[in-house]
Amino acid sequence: MIEEQKKGTLLVLSGPSGVGKNTLIDMFLNRNKDIRYSISATTRKPRNHEKDNIDYYFLSQEQFCNMIEEEAFLEWAEFCGNYYGTPIKPIEEALADGYDVIMDIEIQGAKQVSEKWPEAVLIFLVPPSLEELARRIKNRKTETSEEIEARLKQALIEMDVGRMYDYYLVHDNTEKTVLELEAIRQAESFKVKRINWDLVISSLKEGLNA
């Protein structure tokens, strides 16, 4: 009875670049087939193997700007000449159908989401240590040591924004961190503010009179 009235929860995952958001989300989605992943829209060209409506919604700049005007984005930003944004509609529909939705988003975007959708659950992913973050970035072998140092300084700046989030998780071990993320998801589903308490009471009353 209570389950039927429930809307889904929007889980928003952020964290400094290199912290391993994608790895975590992949395992989380794999273990939880009933959760929806929010697909971003972008005006940049698809890269090899990227598929429209799966990796991104690939839009023309005109389409994107029309959607901005229609306030069809939960958040959007321009980055290096391309637009990126989160369309509201698929998220609203999934939540109304009772599905939980997870999105990963950079820090500025998370702030916009939380303003537009205060019931979103903001989760900040913390590296176990900066040494470990450096090691992960080094393993990619795409950056010089100066670039790595700059990335670490940037990560510290990004860490500061974590204080405005609801939850933090230390990403030291993906298996463990996924279980912790699942506990947050489960606990949030028991929040009184997420259900209509009057309906809970009236469904109990119906039982009494029946």
Q: Footprint of its own copies on this chain (CB under 8 A)?
A: 2, 124, 126-127, 129-131, 152, 156, 159-160, 162-170, 180, 182-184, 186-188, 190-192, 195, 197, 200-201, 204-205, 207-208
In whole angstroms, the minimum distance from the beta carbon of 13 to its own copies comes to 13
DSSP-based three-state secondary structure for 34: coil
CA angle, residues 34, 39, 45, in degrees to nearest 5: 150
- Residue number, 16 or 85, with CB nearest to its own copies: 16
Question: Please, which residue, 89 or 135, has the CB nearer to its own copies?
Answer: 135
Report, in Å, the least distance between residue 17 CB and its own copies: 14
Reading across the β-sheet that carries 57-58, which strands appear in turn? 57-58, 41-42, 82-87, 73-79
CB 197 to its own copies: min, Å: 4
Q: Give 146-153 contacts, CB < 8 A, sequence gap 24+.
A: 151/17, 151/18
Helix-helix angle 21-31:174-188, to 10 degrees: 60
65 vs 170, beta carbon nearer its own copies: 170
